[in-house]
Amino acid sequence: MTAAGARALVIEICLLTNGAPVTSVLICDDRPIAAKGLSEMLLPLPSLVEATWVTDGFALVDAYAAKAVDLVMIGFHGDNKLADEAIGLMLGMNPTAAIMVVGSVVDAESLAPAFVRGARGLLVWEADQSSCPDGYPDGPLVW
């Protein structure tokens, strides 16, 4: 999926879960380059006012408690129990929070607890052979 397609998907998910356009997004990924990349990908959204990012689950919950946002995107890779807990805490603050996880197909088992906790959407990275495993994937986003 192209970046434009990914942005359209974000809009659709937010419309389905909140009934309003995306004006603010909070991104969490412990890889700063991935968090920054997702943030930059969303900047062309016409309704977007703010896209901020943090690098851990504690900062995510603190940021969400300080200011609720329209959409939360959480990067998943490997074992990410802290993010699962963060989802539960954010939904405790706001049961209608729109939370999406971003991961890879190889992380299918680690993604399951996020949906048990209440994540409502998934963007999957399909990294190509040139992708750096510790960086921002070069492959397309797919639904």
| pLDDT tens for each residue of 118-142 | 888 777 766 554 444 444 444 434 3
The pLDDT of residue 107 is 63
Q: In whole angstroms, what is the distance from residue 24 CA to residue 10 CA?
A: 11
**Number of folded domains that form the chain:** 1
DSSP H stretches of helix in the chain: 3-18, 32-42, 57-66, 81-93, 108-117
The residue among 102, 40, 58 whose CA lies nearest residue 76 is: 102
- Chain CA centroid to CA 108, Å: 15
The 10s digit of each residue's pLDDT in 48-94 is 888 888 988 899 999 999 998 988 998 876 666 677 889 999 999 99
CATH number at 92 reads 3.40.50.2300
Q: What's the mean pLDDT in 9-33? A: 76
Residue with tokens 């539960």: 88
Domain containing 70 equals 3-142
